[in-house]
Structure 1
């Protein structure tokens, strides 16, 4: 049985957490859990990517960590990941200078197999 909250969709269709913003950029909706034990992709929450961050929600540290983490996962320079909305909220919107298909493939490749623990990162 498959979960209803899938991170991937049919070919050619973007998931709810991802929108194209021109041919070479996209917008991501992210739900952040700051102050977690480790930084990891934790699936979906309310139509957004759920990302746990080891950084605390103080002085923009979690926002900076989120931009850096996404850039690392997407193999992009950090300047290509920009927080648009949600500076003080757990719900954030980010713009990424990469095609939506590329971003979707990179994020879904980081998903753990069903039943495994969430995908973690080496940097905490």
Structure 2
């Protein structure tokens, strides 16, 4: 069972995540230093960002169209905002 993040699904909430691309499986994990998102895809052409957005939206229980990447398009550290 992935970590439940539904309490963060309020509009305007900014969620900072650290991304690990090319992981062995897709996973959202809450750790002591923040939220980590592991995705199996490679970070090229925005594929990893799209995968992270989809996984995070699922963990939050919101539509992926409601999650907007506000910072970190090319960084491992990203900030998404719930619209």
- Please show how residues 68-83 of structure 1 align to structure 2 within 5 Å: 68-83=54-69
Q: Which residue of structure 1 aligns with residue 74 of structure 2?
A: 88
**Which of structures 1 and 2 has the larger relative contact order (alpha carbons within 8 angstroms, sep 6+)?**
2
Q: Which residue of structure 2 aligns with residue 51 of structure 1?
A: 37
Count of matched residue pairs = 76
- Please show how residues 1-124 of structure 1 align to structure 2 within 5 Å: 24-44=11-31, 47-97=33-83
- In the superposition, the TM-score normalised over structure 2's length comes to 0.78
Structure 1 unmatched runs, 5+: 1-6, 8-17, 98-124
Which whole-Å deviations, capped at 9, do the CAs of 1:52-80 have from their partners, x for residues lacking one?
A: 11111111100011111111122211110
CA contact (8 A) 2:28 2:59 kept: no
C-alpha RMSD of the superposition:
2.0
Q: CA deviation at 1:32?
A: 0.4
Distance 1:74 1:42, change over 3 A: closer
Question: d(CA) in 2 for partners of 1:73 and 1:30?
Answer: 13
* Higher share in strand: 2
